[in-house]
Amino acid sequence: MLSPAPVQRTLFEPPEPPSGPQKDVRRFVGSTYPQYVAWKHTEDGWRVWRYVERVALDLAAAGEERIGVKALVEKARQATKLEANNSWSCLLADDLVAAHPHLTTLIERRKRRKAMSPCG
């Protein structure tokens, strides 16, 4: 018995699910400040925070003029192999500035679009 021919896909159609494990994206839907705080108090959150903090301080000591926290979060993901929600980058930036006021002029932060929105 012959198996059916694979369906030809266009460049604009998503591919079939990969064979590897899927990430549970439901954890990141509707991310809010309380979820960020809860994550930051987990072991994974603490490890990511410490990595981001250490690299930011190292960059400042090396004379960097601007520090992008999103880039630090990406580096933290690669270095620690842990998950970090991109939506929380702005909250990490706020925490960095609160913990290390001398980073205020170096950390890139933007005005929030909504008054009650923690990250814009």
Give me the average pLDDT of each 10-residue run along the chain (120 residues). 58 54 52 83 94 97 94 93 87 91 88 56
115 occurs within a structural domain: no
List the Cα angle 52/69/71 in 5-degree steps. Answer: 90
60 domain residue, yes or no: yes
Can you give the residue range of the structural domain that contains 76? 32-103
Residue 45 lies in a domain: yes
Q: What is the pLDDT of residue 32?
A: 76
Domain assignment present for residue 12? The answer is: no
Judge whether 43 lies within some domain.
yes
Q: What pTM value is reported for the model?
A: 0.69
Q: Which two tokens stand for residue 103?
A: 């980073």
Q: Token pair 């814009």 is at which residue? A: 120
Is 75 part of a structural domain of the chain? yes
Within a domain: 54: yes
Give the per-residue pLDDT at 58. 97
Total domains in the fold of the chain: 1
Residue 98 resides in a domain = yes
The answer to whether residues 94 and 66 touch, using CB atoms and an 8 Å cutoff, is no
Helix axes 33-40, 89-99, angle to 10 degrees: 60
77-to-10, 56, 113 alpha-carbon distances in Å? 32, 15, 27
